[in-house]
């Protein structure tokens, strides 16, 4: 039987999930939780896990990031559970969350004990404001990375993702509408627009 001259090409295999030891998982989340002063934890996780270590792809990270935003609870903890479960299953989720919370737990207890003394240290409040500004900068970078992925040929193309982001920003950021109703309207609309599109590499 003759083979077809131009057989259909298979889709490229998905990138396999790298093996990550539980110790490496705990250490990474411990360091991120310990040094992510002033917020910006999600941006720090993206830098450590996607850009530096390559444990996740941008698509995998932002899928978990979006999910962590709409689920109840603290966003950073939700994201940590998602990443830990993706890399090492249920045990990975537990280890990652323990690593994330261990450092801040000790630091907050120590800070609560010494807070009145820290306020008397010259420049302490200024240093905290600077750390918060740096965290905001990391969040802006993460937002730009996510927006670039949405606008750069993913499942949603054209002006649709830009329009959805703009409407959401105006509704929540400028008009101060409640977040839950806005999400309940915009999330299904966004999914409906993205659903017909196939991945660019399919």
CA 98: distance to chain centroid?
18
What is the mean predicted confidence (pLDDT) over 57-69?
89
**pLDDT (0 to 100) of residue 11:** 46
d(CA 70, CA 186): 12
Q: Domain map of the chain by residue range? A: 22-151, 157-196
Contact predicate 159/192, CB 8 Å: no
- 138 has pLDDT over 70: yes
d(CA 145, CA 147): 5
pTM: 0.64
Residue 45 gets which letter from DSSP? H
**pLDDT (0 to 100) of residue 10:** 46
Going by C-beta distance under 8 Å and a sequence separation of 6 or more, which residues neighbour residue 77? 97, 100, 101
**pLDDT (0 to 100) of residue 98:** 96
What is the mean predicted confidence (pLDDT) over 55-61?
93
Please provide the average confidence, as pLDDT, over all residues in the chain: 81
User: For residue 96, what pLDDT band results from cuts at 50, 70 and 90?
Assistant: very high
Going by C-beta distance under 8 Å and a sequence separation of 6 or more, which residues neighbour residue 17? 86, 87
- 57 has pLDDT over 50: yes
5-14, 33-42, 177-186, 189-198 — most confident range? 177-186
């Amino acid at each position: 039987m003759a083979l077809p001259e131009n057989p259909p090409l298979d889709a490229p295999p998905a990138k396999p999930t790298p093996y990550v030891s539980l110790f490496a998982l705990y250490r990474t989340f411990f360091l991120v939780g310990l040094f992510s002063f002033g917020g910006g934890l999600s941006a720090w996780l993206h830098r450590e896990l996607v850009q530096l270590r390559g444990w996740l792809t941008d698509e995998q990270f932002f899928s978990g990031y979006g999910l962590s935003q709409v689920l109840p609870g603290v966003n950073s903890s939700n994201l940590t559970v998602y990443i830990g479960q993706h890399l090492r299953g249920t045990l990975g989720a537990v280890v990652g969350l323990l690593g994330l919370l261990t450092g801040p737990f000790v630091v907050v207890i120590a800070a609560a004990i010494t807070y009145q003394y820290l306020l008397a240290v010259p420049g302490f409040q200024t240093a905290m404001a600077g750390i918060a500004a740096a965290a905001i900068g990391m969040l802006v970078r993460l937002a730009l990375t996510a927006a670039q992925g949405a606008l750069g040929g993913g499942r949603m193309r054209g002006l649709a993702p830009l329009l959805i982001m703009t409407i959401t920003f105006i509704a929540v950021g400028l008009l101060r509408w409640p977040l839950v109703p806005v999400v309940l309207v915009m999330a299904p609309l966004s999914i409906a627009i993205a659903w017909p599109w196939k991945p660019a590499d399919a």
